[in-house]
Chain A
Amino acid sequence: AQKITQTQPGMFVQEKEAVTLDCTYDTSDQSYGLFWYKQPSSGEMIFLIYQGSYDEQNATEGRYSLNFQKARKSANLVISASQLGDSAMYFCAMREGLTGTASKLTFGTGTRLQVTL
């Protein structure tokens, strides 16, 4: 079974509008972390936001917020006031276990966001 599911292969949003990118996850761990990364056409991976499974508040970082619904196992990314520079591939990722060794991430298949004028 997929551990991270991003059901939207592509999304369009108009400049200055808000957009929600969906992410659901599957884990039996009680402790885990959820991440969102942005990958522009240049290929680099840019960290956007992090949510720990025990965090009571939804994470926010500037225009990015994470709508964390633990019971539904969803961690949707909300981008407010979209800008043309937000056009990129967005990946949701999960790390199972908050402490310990490898901290390896499992990535979703990504959502390509296109911001239009």
Chain B
Amino acid sequence: GAVVSQHPSWVICKSGTSVKIECRSLDFQATTMFWYRQFPKQSLMLMATSNEGSKATYEQGVEKDKFLINHASLTLSTLTVTSAHPEDSSFYICSARTYRGKLGKLFFGSGTQLSVL
């Protein structure tokens, strides 16, 4: 089945540094990828929609300059948390859409736990 690889699975960083999270579709081309954020014991909140070759579309309340998204190829999207602060500590997860199989099936990466000290 389709696989989405997300890296790293966890990262600890100092306040003020930037962290890059990669999301790769391993066996399919993903024209659209999504980035979600999840606080402990809460639902996933969509942060942004990433389309290959164009600027990402951010959800209301998500700072574009803080969460930089790049979707340079059909198999790779990156989320960079710039100048991270402790309140950015969260679980980040990406998903990619494939048209194979049932229409609209999304596959998720395994997530990245970010801890900002």
A residues with a Cβ closer than 8 A to B are 33, 35, 37, 42-47, 50, 52, 91, 95, 98-99, 101-110
Bound CA span A9–B44, Å: 15
Bound CA span A109–B51, Å: 27
Bound CA span A14–B49, Å: 40
Measured between beta carbons, the chain A residues less than 8 angstroms from B38 are 43
Pair A50/B105 contact, Cβ less than 8 Å = yes
Bound CA span A89–B91, Å: 15
Pair B49/A104 contact, Cβ less than 8 Å = yes
Main secondary structure of the interface of A (DSSP, over half): loop
B residues with a Cβ closer than 8 A to A are 32, 34, 38, 42-46, 49, 51, 57, 91, 93, 95, 97, 102-111, 113
Pair B104/A103 contact, Cβ less than 8 Å = yes
Measured between beta carbons, the chain B residues less than 8 angstroms from A44 are 93, 108-111
Bound CA span A78–B16, Å: 46
Task: Tell me which of A42, A50, A95, A110 contacts B43 (CB under 8 A).
Answer: A110
Bound CA span A45–B95, Å: 9
Measured between beta carbons, the chain B residues less than 8 angstroms from A50 are 102, 104-105
Pair B106/A47 contact, Cβ less than 8 Å = yes
Q: What is the chain B residue whose CB lies nearest that of A33?
A: B104
Q: What is the chain A residue whose CB lies nearest that of B42?
A: A109
A34 → B minimal CB distance (Å): 10
Measured between beta carbons, the chain B residues less than 8 angstroms from A43 are 38, 91, 93, 110-111, 113
A96 → B minimal CB distance (Å): 11
B77 → A minimal CB distance (Å): 14
Central interface residue in A42, A45, A50, A105, by most chain B CB within 10 Å: A45
